[in-house]
Amino acid sequence: MIDFGSRFSPAPDATMLPDTGEPGFGIYVHWPFCAAKCPYCDFNSHVRHKPVDQERFVAAFLREMETMRQLSGAKVVTSVFLGGGTPSLMNPQTVGAILDGIARFWHVPDGIEITMEANPSSVEAERFRGYRAAGVNRVSMGVQALNDRDLKFLGRLHDVADALKAIRLAREIFPRMSFDLIYARPNQTVDEWEKELVEAISYAVDHLSLYQLTIEEGTAFYGLHKAGKLIVPDGDQSALLYEATQEITARHGMPAYEVSNHAMPGAESRHNLTYWRYGDYAGIGPGAHGRLTKGGTKLATATERHPETWLEAVERDGHGILDQEVLGVEEQSDELLLMGLRLREGVDLARWSDLSGRDLDPDKEDFLLQHGFIERIGNSRLRCTPSGMLILDSVVADLAC
């Protein structure tokens, strides 16, 4: 175990604009390349055995930004997220060029949250310092487990020693950091998970993303699970693990502010809050999705998923957008409800009523209230209870009808 010294001392330049509670406007940039494809992953990630032409991709990102700027109009950016894939495979110069491009097309105030995802296996101190110099002030690490057995099972390229080294570097260099863990792994007990979670919290993180292992179609795990060669915890055991997660994180000052995300007060992910508060965001890069409002019209955008096909489309047409759909009132109100009920702060009912043109069905609301699945926060907000979070999709379906 590495001695982190004063474990909760953040980097010295930790000043960041406070959360205003507004949805904001985010920029998401998708870097689609990974060193290896994890067996549980259904994200748009691709392995290339030859070096990626980063300069060519940067030029394409900038061209697509110009198109997205035309769709969004002038906006003040409240967060930037570099996701993937594995963005920490990018050169710092690539990251700098992307962030410079965003500042060219939109207004980017000083002190906004700029997050980059990173994998411990691709971390080097010089590279991390280069990202920080480029403007990244928050890093999200794909740790996934804190024992080597399960890291191997999850197909990760790093071991625990790599993970702890990366965490230490991130704490030294970035004002804020988060890391991901996957639980409900095969044969995982509640006691094992509680110890692992307490260890994770001890590493001076201010944010944790804690996901239950799900078997997604199209992944390597899906075939194994279907063949009976991969057994994951059943519903009852998964519920116990979830409940332990809520109890441990709350006890250590990192309560859930969303179904799978936990943070110290003030350290919530501003970018992800934009999604969950149903704000607008521009999605740039292969397979990126966006929500853009201009002139009273809300557009859903989605780009070509295959990296090289996207690249050719951008070079030819100025963008890789495959789908551009105008969302109707019902679709928008359903999305607002779906996203907002994921949050501990809940949904602003006045905003939902203004958008949908109606109030919630009182009989359905009363049913869910009486069974302890939802609760009112004053007269203006509605949220799921911890019990309701376990059946979130059903709660949303009942309220949206």
Average pLDDT over residues 196-210: 93
Mean pLDDT value across residues 263-276: 96
**Tokens encoding 19:** 């959360």
pLDDT at residue 21, as a whole number:
87
pLDDT score of 105 more than 80: yes
pLDDT, position 5: 35
CA angle 98, 63, 37 (to 5 degrees): 60
pLDDT at res. 379: 83
What is residue 240's three-state secondary structure? helix
Residue environment code for 339-373, b if the CB has 16+ CB neighbours within 10 A, otherwise e: bbbbbbbbbbbebbeebbeeebeeeebeebeeeeb
Q: Which residue in 243, 141, 227, 142 sits closest to 184, CA to CA? A: 243
Residue 293 has pLDDT above 90, yes or no: yes
pLDDT of residue 3: 36
Contacts of 203 (CB under 8 A, 6+ apart): 4, 7, 164, 167, 171
Average pLDDT over residues 151-180: 94
Query: pLDDT (tens digit, 9 = 90+) per residue, 151-164?
Result: 999 999 999 999 99
Task: Name the percent of the chain lying above pLDDT 90.
Answer: 88
Angle at 40 between CA 39 and CA 43, to 5 degrees: 105
Q: Which pTM value belongs to this model?
A: 0.93
Domains of the chain: residue spans and CATH: 25-275 (3.20.20.70), 341-400 (no CATH)
pLDDT, position 1:
32
What's the pLDDT score for residue 205? 83
Sorted by sequence, the CB contacts under 8 Å of residue 3 that are 6+ apart come out as none
Span 5-39, pLDDT tens digits: 333 234 445 578 889 889 999 999 999 999 999 99
Q: Radius of gyration of the chain from Cα atoms?
A: 21
**pLDDT, mean of residues 383-394:** 91
Q: Going along 152-224, which residue ranges are E strands?
A: 176-183, 207-212
Note the pLDDT of residue 364. 94
List phi, psi (to 5°) of 384. Answer: -80, 145
